[in-house]
Every structure is written in C-alpha cells, then in structure tokens.
Amino acid sequence: MHSSSADLTDDDRCPCGSGDTFGACCRPVLRQERRAGTAQALMRSRYTAFAVRDLEHLLRSWHPATAPERADLAASLAEEVRWLRLEIHASTAGGPFDDAGTVEFSAISRGPQGRQVQRELSRFVREDGAWLYVDGQQGTPRA
C-alpha cells in the first residue's frame, strides 16, 4: 500500500520523527508554503517525502548537478518500501546563517527483502536562500 501526504492529516505525527505534527513540521515544506530553515530540516522533509512518495519535493530539493532522472526516481518511489523511522546522529553547520552543512542519519525501512537500515552522511548547500541535497556517503561515515 502506498501512502501519500493526502493520507496524513495536519494533526498526525510527522513521519520525520521530530515529534511534531505533520502540519507544523514537514507538510508546509512539502507544499512550498515555507522553506526548510536548516540542512537538518531539509533532510527531515526529504525523508518525509520518501515516506509519502512526494516525487516533486524530492526533485525540487535535489541539487541539479547531482539529481537523478525523474523516471529513475519515480521508479524507486514505486518500490514496495515502507519507511519506518528516521534517526539523526549528527549534523555540522547547516544552520540559518551557513551555506553548507552535513547531516548523518539512519533511515529504517521494510521492503520485500525485510527490514533495512540506510546510514548516510548527506551533504547540503544553500543556494539563493534554499537548502539543497547534494549527495551522500553510504555506510557508517568516519570523521
């Protein structure tokens, strides 16, 4: 079963794990009502976009130099994966006055192969006031 942001109400807990409601957390970012103020906020909104299969937000928030083809991303969103939880481990810079930052996280999912954990150190840049995902190093990054 595919869920979408239409399946969540503003009062539901946000999938990103912030503890806030969807309407106060990621929904306004996904709907372009406000920008993510930090790299971590963008990371959380991107996790939520994967969870609710919001292709447009994922493409919009991906740096054009590293973004996948629309069809490839759409195909990956069509896979039978249920996103269970996001854990933020660390972040560097990426604040409201920075132009770059990193977020280290684990995204836990369940798919046809069972439970999986994707650990990544993601890089973000801010261009024209908007945070963008650049790329990520898979596995357990070392400082």
Taken in order of first residue, the domains within the chain and their CATH numbers are: 5-138 (3.10.450.50)
**Residues of the chain falling short of pLDDT 50:** 1-2, 143
Q: 32 in helix, strand or coil?
A: coil
What does 36-92 look like in DSSP terms, one character per residue?
-SSHHHHHHHHHHHHHHT-HHHHHHTB-TTTPPPHHHHHHHHHS--EEEEEEEEEEE
What is the reported pLDDT for 5? 59
Buried/exposed 34-63: b ≥16 CB within 10 Å, e otherwise:
eebebbbbbbbbbbbbbbbbbeebbbebbe
What is the reported pLDDT for 125? 98
Q: Confirm whether pTM is higher than 0.75.
A: yes
